[in-house]
């Protein structure tokens, strides 16, 4: 089969590799679509920034380079291993990529496997990944898609679940208000999640004209934080109060400081983006406003299913922000993502 294998910094190769076979408790998928993510960007351009070493086998999975990338993907079950009862050949699925965590560290004991330093994910540090024609994974990791959710949408479940989890961490309820900083795929996912939860007063702050146009076409309120007054826009949205919460999907220090200033007293900032650089800020504002700052990484299994249900209910629209490329377009997709333009790229695998 064909697969996109990562060998090292800026070195991905489309190669022929053996098809995998499912073992006990596993299923084999014919992959349909796989998305390109910010973590794939870090693998390709900045592997030194990853929270684990690529130079030695993963301590829990034994995975080593070269590694098939891709953790946002969907496919159809074509074979099942012994002992699999809840999944059938022909089922269309989205894949929950987190495969292992240590189970004993403080993060695991508190139910936070994505914060485990030894977490292992398909398409990262577990053998196999979505950027291939076939993948084998534990049957427990596949989430069957209902009839109203196609495989193209199924590949978006994982990144949309990241945004969904960030919104859950925000604590904003229906009728509240929110700001999303950054209109990349995670920011788009957060905007959809707010809408699905009945939060209509949502402002999206994005310096890229291309990404602002994408959000506006979806029906979002957008603002250019560089050339327009963000504080005035927030005041107009909230009758001068400030937003109940803000999601940082930008990964830039300037975005964080600007959105903190727009929070209502007692509001919450959710950091859902990877930051490559440190930042300076004045924490007195946190004290005076009793502002909360929380992180959001990954998602919970039930949130994966909540996103699928919201997709089935029509809350997600791929018009204008999802493009498709063949598997050999993976490097083009990574460079586009690095430039901070456009929406989401899906690679066609089937």
> Per-residue pLDDT tens for 302-345?
999 999 999 999 999 999 999 999 999 999 999 988 888 889 99
Of 181, 246, 179, residue with least CA distance to 207: 181
Can you list the alpha helix ranges (DSSP code H) found in the chain? 38-45, 106-109, 151-154, 157-170, 185-196, 209-218, 230-238, 253-261, 284-289, 301-312, 330-338
Contacts of 259 (CB under 8 A, 6+ apart): 179, 181, 205, 230, 246, 248, 269
In whole angstroms, what is the distance from residue 14 CA to residue 175 CA? 48
**pTM beyond 0.75:** yes
H helix count then E strand count, the chain:
11, 18
- Residue 334's pLDDT is what? 93
In whole angstroms, what is the distance from residue 44 CA to residue 60 CA? 23
> Which own/partner pairs from 227-234 qualify as long-range (CB within 8 Å, at least 24 positions apart)?
230/205, 230/258, 230/259, 230/262, 231/261, 231/262, 233/203, 234/179, 234/203, 234/262
Check if the beta carbon of residue 209 is closer than 8 Å to that of residue 224: yes
- Residue 278's pLDDT is what? 87
In whole angstroms, what is the distance from residue 36 CA to residue 6 CA? 13
Mapped onto helix, strand or coil, the DSSP state of residue 63 is: coil
Tell me the per-residue pLDDT of 278-313, one tens digit each, with 9 for 90 and over. 888 889 999 999 999 999 999 999 999 999 999 999
Contacts of 230 (CB under 8 A, 6+ apart): 205, 223, 258, 259, 262
Nearest-Å Rg of the Cα atoms of the chain is 20
In whole angstroms, what is the distance from residue 350 CA to residue 131 CA? 11
Of 149, 185, 240, residue with least CA distance to 40: 185
Q: How many residues does the chain have?
A: 350
- Residue 59's pLDDT is what? 92
CB burial of 139-167 (b: ≥16 within 10 Å; e: otherwise) equals bebbbbbeeebebebbbbbbbbbbbbbbb
Task: Write the burial class of residue 216 (CB in 10 Å: 0-12 exposed, 13-18 middle, 19+ buried).
Answer: middle
Q: Which helix (H) or strand (E) holds 127?
A: none
Of 98, 1, 17, 34, residue with least CA distance to 349: 34
Q: Which residues of the chain have pLDDT under 50?
A: none
């Amino acid at each position: 089969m064909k697969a996109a294998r990562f060998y090292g910094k800026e070195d991905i190769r489309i190669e022929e590799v053996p098809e995998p076979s499912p073992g006990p408790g596993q299923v084999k998928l014919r992959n349909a679509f796989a998305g390109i993510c910010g973590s794939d960007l870090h693998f390709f351009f900045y592997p030194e920034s990853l929270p684990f070493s690529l130079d030695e086998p993963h301590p829990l999975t034994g995975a080593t380079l070269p590694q098939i990338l891709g953790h946002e993907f969907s496919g159809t079950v074509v074979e099942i291993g012994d002992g699999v009862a809840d999944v059938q050949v022909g089922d269309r699925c989205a894949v929950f990529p987190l495969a292992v965590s240590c189970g004993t560290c403080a993060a695991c004991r508190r139910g936070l496997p994505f914060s485990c330093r030894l977490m292992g994910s398909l398409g990262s540090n577990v053998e196999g990944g979505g950027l291939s024609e076939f993948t084998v994974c534990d049957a427990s990791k596949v989430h069957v898609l209902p009839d109203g959710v196609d495989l193209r949408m199924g590949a978006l479940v994982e990144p949309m679940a990241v945004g969904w989890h960030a919104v859950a961490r925000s604590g904003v309820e229906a009728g509240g208000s929110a700001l999303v900083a950054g209109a990349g795929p995670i920011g788009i996912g957060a905007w959809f999640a707010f809408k699905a939860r009945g939060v209509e007063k949502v402002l999206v702050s994005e310096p890229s004209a291309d990404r602002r146009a994408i959000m506006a076409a979806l029906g979002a309120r957008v603002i250019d934080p560089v050339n327009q007054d963000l504080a005035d826009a927030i005041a107009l949205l909230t009758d001068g109060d400030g937003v109940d919460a803000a999601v940082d999907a930008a990964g830039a220090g300037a975005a964080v400081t600007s959105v903190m200033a727009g929070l209502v007293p007692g509001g919450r900032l959710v950091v859902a983006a990877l930051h490559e650089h440190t930042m300076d800020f004045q924490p007195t504002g946190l004290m005076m406003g009793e502002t909360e700052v929380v992180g959001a990484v990954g998602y919970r299994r039930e949130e994966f299913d909540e996103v699928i249900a919201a997709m089935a209910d029509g809350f997600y629209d791929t018009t204008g922000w999802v493009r498709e490329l063949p598997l050999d377009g993976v490097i083009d997709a990574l460079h586009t993502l690095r430039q901070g333009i456009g929406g989401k790229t899906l690679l066609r695998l089937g």
